[in-house]
């Protein structure tokens, strides 16, 4: 089975492909010659995932899935949330986003946060969604060289290292995207 994953983020593509059974081959947006920016104009993470999947199905005709992920920080009233990728501006720079987050939390004692991923699957003319949530805390500085995005400052509850300090396999077991992908895989079986 082939499914288009509505992403050009090679890190995300690799992470998700590593969790799927061998008989499911992922195609990226580049693989289907989609070089346009797919709209993400919804006010929620769920809405953006659905919007991307529906856009891809309508304009390209492929069975596909799209995800949207946000980091929701308690002390910031759920921010950056739906704006996680562009928290520090439209340049979408992960270091700028992480630095802004650390600055915003500088004097805040409550550092509780959660990563939330919603996957919207468009398959055989029907739309399905799967949610994964990983609760944790934001560290006071960056740790680790792995991962991407906010991984160097996020520690999952029960884990003594940031997502950037653990292996991809460890992250997939406890992380938000891994939890959502597991639900997707169970559905596809």
Domain of 13, CATH number, reads 3.90.950.10
Query: Where residue 22 falls among pLDDT bands split at 50, 70, 90?
Result: confident
Do residues 5 and 26 lie in contact, with contact meaning Cβ atoms separated by under 8 Å?
Answer: yes
Do residues 145 and 94 lie in contact, with contact meaning Cβ atoms separated by under 8 Å?
Answer: no
Report whether 68 belongs to an annotated binding site: yes
Cα angle 120, 125, 129 (rounded to 5 degrees) comes to 20
Domain residues for the domain of 178 are: 2-188
Q: Which of 83, 7, 9, 8 is nearest to 44 (CA)?
A: 83
How many separate domains does the chain show? Answer: 1
* Local structure of residue 127 (DSSP, 8 states): E
Query: Where residue 76 falls among pLDDT bands split at 50, 70, 90?
Result: very high
Has residue 41 got a pLDDT over 90?
yes
Residue numbers annotated as active site: 68
β 112-123/126-138 pair status: antiparallel
Mean pLDDT of 2-12: 88
Report whether 11 belongs to an annotated binding site: yes
Report whether 148 belongs to an annotated binding site: yes
This prediction has a pTM of 0.89
Report whether 128 belongs to an annotated binding site: no
């Amino acid at each position: 089975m082939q499914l288009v994953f509505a992403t050009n983020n090679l890190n995300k593509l690799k992470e998700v492909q590593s969790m799927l059974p061998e008989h499911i081959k992922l195609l990226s947006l580049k693989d289907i010659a989609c070089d346009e920016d797919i709209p993400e104009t919804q006010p929620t993470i769920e809405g953006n995932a659905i919007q991307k999947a529906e856009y891809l199905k309508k304009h390209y005709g492929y069975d596909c899935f799209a995800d949207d992920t946000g980091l929701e920080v308690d002390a910031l009233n759920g921010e950056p949330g739906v704006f996680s990728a562009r928290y520090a501006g439209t340049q979408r720079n992960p270091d700028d986003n992480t630095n802004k987050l650390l600055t915003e939390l500088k004097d805040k004692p409550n550092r509780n946060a959660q990563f939330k991923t919603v996957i919207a699957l468009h398959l055989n003319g029907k739309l399905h969604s799967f949610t994964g949530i990983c609760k944790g805390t934001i560290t006071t500085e960056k740790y680790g060289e792995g991962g991407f995005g906010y991984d160097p400052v996020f520690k999952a509850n029960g884990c003594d290292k940031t997502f950037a300090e653990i292996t991809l396999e460890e992250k997939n077991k406890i992380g938000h995207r891994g939890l959502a992908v597991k639900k997707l895989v169970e559905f596809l079986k």
